[in-house]
């Protein structure tokens, strides 16, 4: 019986008041790659990306690394996923596009928590679900 396993892991760190670092790892039976993405909290903008191959299928895979830089400056919003899949997925590698999107999704969730914690200081009774329904995504 054939078996295949893919693992994705994303960790989020707050670098400073205005920036998050997302560290993503994608491992499966064929590929192993990592990416570090610095994202601005106020604008949800990709500030820098660093990618590394741990294990690649062929000698062409490492050529994808320089193309990651084309996503620097992208802001998360409408059409963001399609843009990443088109630019990074096609020019570089769909595996890098997948883990980059996972990192960005995790960072977006983290910014909601950061905004909620700030707002909760002003309104101690504010529940997270209530905050999410009224959050505009603007920086505080």
pLDDT tens sequence across 4-31:
888 999 999 999 999 999 999 999 888 8
Token pair of 37 as six digits: 């993405």
Q: What is the pLDDT of residue 136?
A: 60
Helix residue ranges per DSSP H, 30-138: 80-84, 90-91, 94-122, 128-134
Quick one: what percent of the chain has pLDDT higher than 90? 64
List, in order, residues 6 or more apart from 46 with CB less than 8 Å away.
37, 38, 39, 71, 72, 73, 74, 75, 104
| Listed range (49-53, 81-85, 87-91) with the worst mean pLDDT | 87-91
Token pair of 138 as six digits: 């603007």
- Tens of pLDDT, residue by residue over 46-66, are 999 999 999 888 777 788 899
């Amino acid at each position: 019986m054939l078996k295949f396993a893919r693992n994705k892991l994303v960790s989020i760190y707050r670098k400073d008041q205005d920036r998050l670092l997302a560290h993503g790892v994608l491992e499966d039976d064929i590929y192993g790659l990592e990416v570090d993405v610095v994202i601005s909290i106020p604008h949800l903008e990709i500030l820098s990306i660093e990618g590394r191959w741990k294990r690649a299928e062929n000698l062409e895979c490492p050529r994808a690394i320089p193309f990651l830089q084309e996503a620097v400056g992208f802001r998360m919003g409408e059409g963001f996923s399609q843009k990443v899949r088109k630019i990074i997925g096609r020019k570089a590698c769909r595996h890098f596009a997948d883990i980059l999107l996972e990192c960005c999704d995790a960072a977006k969730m983290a910014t909601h928590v950061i905004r909620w914690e700030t707002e909760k200081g002003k309104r101690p009774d504010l529940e997270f679900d209530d905050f999410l329904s009224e959050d505009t995504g603007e920086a505080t």
